[in-house]
Every structure is written in C-alpha cells, then in structure tokens.
Structure 1
C-alpha cells in the first residue's frame, strides 16, 4: 500500500500528501542550500521524525503500563555535514512534565523504548543520535 504522493512545486518546494489521511506537508530547501527556509526541509523532517518516533514508542509503552507521559516535549537540533551533504548528528532532548510518578525502572523502560524506535533503527549507523532525558 502506498504511503504518500509527492509533487514538485518548483522553486525547491514540494507538497507531500499522506494517502490514508489526506494530511499535507510542504517542504522548502534550507537557506544554506539555495532555498528560502520557509518550511521544513526534507532533512528537518528526518530529524523531526526521529524525535516523534521516539516519543510515540514511549507513549505506546506508557499506555500499555498505565503510565502518563502526556505533556512531554521533545526538542530537536539537526547538525549538517558536508562532502557529502548529510545529517551528521541529531540532538534529541526530552523534557518530561513535573511529577509523573515514574520510578527508575519505569524511566529505564521508556528510555530504552525511545532508543530502539523504528526510525532510530532505520537511519544510517554513522548518524550520531545524542539523546537527553530530563525527568
């Protein structure tokens, strides 16, 4: 089953449509690569997908165990390299809300879930994934 359809709009911009839901994402090349930087770049989406996937997998584990991580935020910093141009590092910082009632065992389970999410295991092994959990 197809996942998405992508249209090149010119001026280094694309429109991607999620075929199941109809949700649309527009991209733009970054300023440092001849774009306007007015939307997510494709590499921004890769880095963002990593954080989103980690948080989703943590949410699945939390729900299965009756734990609440609602309100957790993730900040993403993408570091680009050259020759070849690529993402060399993604810094992922989790900020959990105040007193969530989780003990060390629960936190460890959630951290391991994040670090083994499908996106984390799908990107190239040379991509440095620097992950911080602020409980």
Structure 2
C-alpha cells in the first residue's frame, strides 16, 4: 500500500513534514539538521527495527541496542559516499543469535536496501557494550 509524505517549505531552510502516523508535523531546520541527516537517521532507525524483528522471530530480545552511523559525502558533495555503521548491543549473544542480528542488519533493512548500492558501507557490531549506551 502506498503512503504519502507531505513536506512544505517554510522558508529560510525550514520545512515541515506530515507523515501518516504522526499527529504533528516534523519541523526541520536544514541549517542545523540537514535532509541527509534525516536520511541517515531513518537508516539507523530502520536497522534497529529490522534487527528487533529478526530477533523476535528467533525468540530473543535486543533491548538497549543503538546505532551510530558516521557518514561522508562523495568527492563532488552531491551524495553520500561512505557510511560507517556501528550497532552497539548491550548484551552478548550466542554465535547463532549474532548471525541473525548481522544478517538482518546487512541484508533486510528496507531503508538500507533503498539506498544507492555505490555507497561504501562498513559494518561493525559491538556486543556487551553497556558502557556505550545513552
């Protein structure tokens, strides 16, 4: 089923976006939080939801997990060129659970699969990282 996201430009680098599930529009100031930041945010959120879904199907929990994505623009500054993706999990997991987590993150995230395949991506999974969580 198709969804429509509506964005209105408010001037001076501000925009407001309405999404089907949000009660209030999301307002963005591109001087402080750029559209590329939103793209990377969507990717990080999708990664976590994808990992959670795979974990639940395999009867384990990934509570207190976070993503950190460092990105660089391409040489011509027209697109994202590289991403370093770190998934920090507060617990340790069995080897088979780690395989579920890592396979889901790399292969099944809808946003990740929608991104340009020319974006260089480096994944790191940090287990038992209780000190790195906010």
TM-score bin (small chain): 0.7 to 0.9
Aligned residues: 125
> How far has the Cα of 1:75 moved from its partner?
1.0
Aligned-partner Cα distance in 2 for 1:123–1:23: 27
CA RMSD of aligned residues (A): 1.6
- Residue 130 to residue 24, structure 1, CA distance change in 2 (3 Å): farther
Aligned-partner Cα distance in 2 for 1:58–1:9: 36
Check conservation: 1:49, 1:119, Cα contact below 8 A: yes
The answer to whether structure 1 residue 125 and structure 2 residue 131 are counterparts is: no
Aligned-partner Cα distance in 2 for 1:89–1:118: 18
> How far has the Cα of 1:21 moved from its partner?
2.9
- Residue 58 to residue 13, structure 1, CA distance change in 2 (3 Å): same
Normalised TM-score (structure 2): 0.84
List structure 1 segments (4+ residues) > 3 angstroms apart after TM superposition. Answer: none
> How far has the Cα of 1:82 moved from its partner?
3.9
Aligned-partner Cα distance in 2 for 1:112–1:105: 11
Matched with 2:99 is 108
Q: Which runs of 5+ in 1 are unaligned?
A: 30-35
Matched with 1:95 is 88
Aligned-partner Cα distance in 2 for 1:95–1:118: 20
